[in-house]
Structure 1
Amino acid sequence: MGRDERQTNRACPVTATEQTPLSNDDVKQALVKEDDKVTLKVPVVLAERTIQVVVESDISLDPPATEIKRVTKNVFLEQVKLVPVEFDRIHKTDFFEVKRAKLFVSGFIRKDIEYASSECNGALQDRIANIPFSGFTELKEHDFLTKPIIGISGDSKAFFLNEKNDLVPRLDKYFFQNLVKYNEQPYGELVAANFYELDFSPTRVSPEEEFDTLREKIVLDLTIKVLQIRQAKVKASTIVPNLPEGTIGH
């Protein structure tokens, strides 16, 4: 074995630091009180659905490829918007539960393609492509785990008679009232993405022959949570940490 070969196979030195063990203990809790009238403002899951997205696209490869080695994918959401279309009034209020809605979803699939070119002993080539998608799906009443709530705004206008002539109205005097309700916007959360795809050259090539276009057919099962910030009254116990005595004594 020659000197050059021994140098090539020699392991590289690595610096390591031994970590110091640290202890940990339970934090004792002190009960302040039990209360069945605690009001929380928390995210509530309205629906959790798996939406199927089907896309087809052509991706150019430069330099051309002779073989696809590996493909990895991620999904990025740019929009998850809920548009209500059917309602139930809550008692005699101006608030409504949503019975049916359209869910608009858009984003893109980020695809990373590693492939070999025709170059002898050449490095692997890397091609990153963003494949956009958009669409909508319908959410019916039984699809909701918890129905969204929306408050409707309103305005009123009052007219007055002419003080000198009770037969005609005044056109220069009105009373206006406007009620504006600011609702918590339902929003989306990405849960999972399951990809099924077929990648191939749109023109048939022989082994080791180059191709500069990759056609892909992707089926994406996209799982999304739809949430809304809501107020809820719950029974709860208020606690505080019971820490060891410090500078302030008992």
Structure 2
Amino acid sequence: MSQINETNSNDFGECPIVAPCPVNAVTLTPLNDEPAVPCVVPASSPIIKVPAVLAETTIQVVVEANIPLNPAASEIKRVHKDVFLTQCKLVPVRFGEEICPGVRTVTRAKLFIEGFIRKDIEYATADCSGTIRDRIATVPFSGFADLQAGDFLLFPALGESTESKSRFINPKNSDIPRLDKYFFENNVYYNEQPYCELVSAEFFELDFSPCPVDVNGTFSTLREKVVVDITLKVLQVRQVRISSLG
């Protein structure tokens, strides 16, 4: 057994393994840790304020775009894609019952979205041994979705702001009102704005040259037809009461 170990050791010694492209590194020392006891304020049924999921929906976006390539391309190698939302607004169009004085549920709404698809295109040029070129393009899109009662996991809640004005009769002539005296009453409710959160994006696309080219030819325009299914959550910060566990 000892003779075999010596043979293996000699073999590795004659052919040392050298790691290429070394960088500076530090071996970390493990530190001790132990559980900490949290300080919890006792409450039988506390009220907390947290983001609540109103709906989770998938919106299909269909876009077509022409992307110029300079220098011209002979072959597309890879295309990386990401979705960015620049706007996501919920506009109520139908209301339900009151859940608190002056606060109503929203049972139907239009969800307006706006954003862009960021594409990172890697392509080869006409040279036989040329470098790979990179082209970054942003393809904008916008539209809306109709969220109905069945699409909501939890109805949004919005409080109403009211304005009223009281008029007075002229004390010297009860046939005419006073135009110089009014009583105003305003009630302003500041709502939590519903917002969106990206979950995933699934892309289906066709990229091609508008004009067919020969085997050794090049093209300077890339036409793309993209279908992307964007899944997102619609949330609103809400106050909820929870049951204390201890």
**Range of TM-score over shorter length:** 0.7 to 0.9
- More strand by percentage: 1
CA-to-partner distance for each residue in 1:27-76, whole Å, 9 max, x for gaps?
Answer: 2346653412x111111110000111111111110000001111100110
Secondary structure of 1:142 counterpart: helix
- Corresponding letter in the other structure for 1:89: E
Please name the residue that 1:50 is paired with. Answer: 58
Among 90, 100, 120, the residue aligned to 2:128: 120
Secondary structure of 1:33 counterpart: coil
Among 10, 23, 29, the residue aligned to 1:14: 23
Please name the residue that 1:206 is paired with. Answer: 214
Alpha-carbon distance in structure 1 between the residues aligned to 2:100 and 2:111: 28
Please name the residue that 2:14 is paired with. Answer: none
Alpha-carbon distance in structure 1 between the residues aligned to 2:112 and 2:100: 30
- Corresponding letter in the other structure for 2:37: K
**Further displaced range: 178-187 or 132-141:** 178-187
Alpha-carbon distance in structure 1 between the residues aligned to 2:87 and 2:41: 43
Alpha-carbon distance in structure 2 between the residues aligned to 1:180 and 1:156: 12
Alpha-carbon distance in structure 1 between the residues aligned to 2:115 and 2:206: 20
Instruction: Give the 4+ runs in structure 1 shifted more than 6 A.
Output: none
Please name the residue that 1:218 is paired with. Answer: 226
Among 135, 141, 146, the residue aligned to 2:149: 141
Structure 2: 5+ residue stretches without partners: 1-18
Instruction: Judge conservation of contact 2:196–2:233 (CA < 8 Å) in 1.
Output: yes
Secondary structure of 2:244 counterpart: strand
CA-to-partner distance for each residue in 1:5-46, whole Å, 9 max, x for gaps?
Answer: xxxxx933332221111222222346653412x111111110
**Further displaced range: 82-91 or 71-80:** 82-91
Structure 1: 5+ residue stretches without partners: 1-9, 239-250
Find out whether 1:165 has 2:155 as its counterpart.
no
Q: Which of 1 and 2 has higher RCO (CA within 8 Å, sep 6+)?
A: 1
Among 24, 30, 53, the residue aligned to 2:33: 24
Please name the residue that 2:139 is paired with. Answer: 131
Please name the residue that 2:190 is paired with. Answer: 182
Alpha-carbon distance in structure 1 between the residues aligned to 2:42 and 2:21: 61
- Corresponding letter in the other structure for 2:24: T
Alpha-carbon distance in structure 1 between the residues aligned to 2:192 and 2:134: 43
**Further displaced range: 14-23 or 138-147:** 14-23
- Corresponding letter in the other structure for 1:112: D
Alpha-carbon distance in structure 1 between the residues aligned to 2:85 and 2:236: 18
CA-to-partner distance for each residue in 1:87-129, whole Å, 9 max, x for gaps?
Answer: 0131683221101000001100000000000123211000000
Instruction: Judge conservation of contact 1:34–1:237 (CA < 8 Å) in 2.
Output: no
- Corresponding letter in the other structure for 2:192: E
Instruction: Judge conservation of contact 1:81–1:105 (CA < 8 Å) in 2.
Output: yes
Q: Which runs of structure 2 are paired with 1:59-70 in the superposition (5 Å)?
A: 59-70=67-78
Please name the residue that 2:85 is paired with. Answer: 77
Seen in structure 2, the aligned counterparts of structure 1 residues 98 and 74 have a Cα distance that, compared at 3 Å, is same
TM-score normalised over the length of structure 2: 0.87
Instruction: Judge conservation of contact 1:33–1:237 (CA < 8 Å) in 2.
Output: no
- Corresponding letter in the other structure for 1:202: P
Instruction: Judge conservation of contact 1:53–1:221 (CA < 8 Å) in 2.
Output: yes
Aligned identity (percent) is: 55
- Corresponding letter in the other structure for 1:160: F
Q: CA deviation at 1:134?
A: 0.3
Alpha-carbon distance in structure 2 between the residues aligned to 1:204 and 1:143: 45
Alpha-carbon distance in structure 1 between the residues aligned to 2:158 and 2:21: 63
Seen in structure 2, the aligned counterparts of structure 1 residues 165 and 13 have a Cα distance that, compared at 3 Å, is closer
